Chain A
Amino acid sequence: MSPAVLSSRRPSADTEAAALEVRGLGKSFPLGGLFSRESVRALHGVDLAIGRGEIVALVGESGSGKSTLARCVARLERPSAGEILIDGVDVLKRDRFQASRAFRSQLQMVFQDPFGSLNPAHRVEHFLRRSLAIHRKGGSSETETRQRLEELMTTVGLQADMLNSYPHELSGGQRQRVAIARALAVEPQVILADEPTSMLDVSVRIGVLNLMRKLRDEQGISMLYITHDLASARYLADRTAVMFAGELVEEGESLDLLANAAHPYTQLLVSAVPDPARAGSYDPVRRAELRQAVMASTSCAFDGDPNQACSAEEPVRHGVGDPENRHWVRCHLYRPQAGAGGHALATEPTDNKASA
């Protein structure tokens, strides 16, 4: 293993508009019949900014709203509230009803399932050629298009003769690379990757993560990497944001966030990741305390500090540690309102009792 430490970009904040910024994004889904007024709040007040050439990871359990956020940002779902800014322009206002082609060429998505996202009836060349044609990135002549196609394949680490392959002839990892090449063909500035490695064989996952890092380093593409795997978020992302029940609870530089997790929910997630280096660390008593703190914290670490206002009503953000890390945590005292999205912790009430 080479001792070289991977570079971590830290774009200085405020010098330029973020590549992608989300402000106060909310989304609720109606529940019940036509006349029902009930709804479940999948997202509430999400503020997140991704700088140029920065990879931000969004982590959380299933049902926490990660994918809903991605679908809202990709405009596959209409948000109930908030703004989505690309280059400082609110795209929800600009393209009021549906995503425009201009928007699609700025932002592309890579989905979880490379087996479902490529049409089995077409060759690899078709997917890339179509992206180039629709967004007019193929150049003026066939020679240029051809050259661009081969370039794309090389960029994602595939051989150019695979352009003639059908998806079923490729392995899962190769398919995911084709899906990434298709997104790259459009020359986007932001890629949303929703669990891009979770359906792949474990031994090729790292390769796809390394490819994503390479794209950031060489082409300055910003990415939102959505995952439930904290270890891979730490490996790939410059910053990590933690989502719980539809709201962000903590965000910061990845290494700092995982080493100095301040929110009980982040601590819970970090403590649950299997890691042979700290085997046998499971402590039921500590676990029960953490669950209790996540569900109904009675105190906040910053309570009593005159410089930090704590609030049970407002999601106050407390700064953690060195400001350089831009690490903040939501006040522990804050209670999400009724109707917030579900999460695994809430559905196992007997557990708290038994293990306490």
Chain B
Amino acid sequence: MTVSQVSFGSHEPVLDVKNLSVKYIGDTRSTTAVDRVSFSIGTGEVFGLAGESGCGKSTIANSIMRLLKDPAKIAGGSISFGGKDVLAMSPEELRRFRWQDVAMVFQSAMNSLNPVLTIGEQIVDIFTTHAGHSRKESLRRAGQLLELVRIDPARLKSYPHQLSGGMRQRAVIAMAVALKPSLLILDEPTTALDVVVQQEIMAQIKELQRELGFSVLFITHDMSLMVELSHRMAVMYGGRIVETAKAQDVYANPRHPYTQALMGAFPPLTGPRVPLTGLPDGVKFRNIPDLTEAAPGHFVAPVSADASAVDTAIMEGAAR
């Protein structure tokens, strides 16, 4: 697998996903949500996974955490974390793997806090269950944790509804890094927030990442945000990866028409107004082939002019 060998200045990958396929099995038909996806994340690397709703990016995150429930089934491939096979873990191993090795911040995570417990009780809970600390020690650590994300430790006694959306989101991020996991999965961590708060939270994540050195799998549909934060990124479409490279390369030179459309969806804030074209309604790419290396470290799924693979009439609009 050539793709997984390109990683950002690290010796060995923390997470290695190979040919992962996930199916949602229905009574009459089943859907392949993730189709032969391979990527790896190195130590201290921020890897971005971009794509629109329904492209399978959240399914990948849930597979890594082994959180998939029926009717979703991992149909093939492997996920290895630090050399261990995640798919073969026993329930007890999984319990330790989750949160200690890999932590996840979910979409609209700020609503995932328990409304009837104070922030303090919820953080203390992590330390007592997973790390086995005493209550007093846990409380002290919880205070430090809030300071880490710049929330006043006095807020330990607050209930979630007493905090603003941004503060709740930061509290959730603090909880995710509580046990110093080596991989943090961020699934659209800022979609529900205003830009000003979003930027401050992203800056905080960057800072925490530099301080604690964990790797990040960052999932979003906002290409500008992704390029700013990630070292390397992959673009997904219909369960497949259509392009993967260093984030700066994808930004400077998107090669797949779908990537170009995604980039075009975010008009620039400087320079003259130039007409942009997104993907016209109803465009479908079918039978996406495997990635090939278009430039050093830049892998793209070839787009054939073949009508069975792409609706050509529509492609004209997508090409800029």
Contacts and interface: CB of A to CB of B under 8 A. Distances in A.
Contact of B272 (A5, A157, A271): A5
A354 to B, nearest CB: 4
Interface stretch (B21-29, B260-268, B295-303): B260-268
Contacts of B258: 203
Nearest to A173: B281
Interface of B: 52-53, 150-152, 155, 164-167, 194-200, 202-203, 221-225, 227-228, 248, 251, 258, 261-262, 264-270, 272-282, 320
Contact of B269 (A203, A258, A280, A345): A258
B208 to A, nearest CB: 14
A210 B275 contact: yes
B228 A202 contact: no
A270 B222 CA distance: 17
A201 B227 CA distance: 19
Interface string A31-62: 00000000000000000000000000000011
A162 B197 CA distance: 41
A210 B277 contact: yes
A151 B166 CA distance: 46
A234 B274 CA distance: 11
B279 A204 contact: yes
Main secondary structure of the interface of B (DSSP, over half): loop
A272 B193 CA distance: 12
A91 to B, nearest CB: 32
B279 A61 contact: no
A119 to B, nearest CB: 21
Contacts of B276: 1, 206, 210, 235
A269 B198 CA distance: 11
A230 B282 contact: no
A351 B150 CA distance: 7
B197 A3 contact: no
A276 B227 contact: yes
Chain A CB within 10 A, most for which of B151, B165, B166, B194 = B194
B164 A207 contact: no
Contacts of A4: 274-275
Contacts of B52: 201-203
A297 interface: no
A137 interface: no
Chain B CB within 10 A, most for which of A61, A204, A355 = A204
B37 to A, nearest CB: 20
Interface string A218-232: 000000000010111
Nearest to B261: A203
Contact of A202 (B151, B227, B262, B268): B262
B281 A5 contact: no
B149 to A, nearest CB: 10
B270 A259 contact: yes
Contacts of B274: 1-6
Nearest to A3: B274
B196 A269 contact: yes
A206 B264 contact: yes
Given A279-B227, A282-B199, 18 more contacts: A2-B275, A4-B274, A4-B275, A6-B275, A201-B221, A203-B279, A206-B278, A230-B269, A234-B269, A271-B199, A273-B195, A275-B228, A276-B227, A277-B270, A344-B196, A345-B196, A350-B155, A351-B150
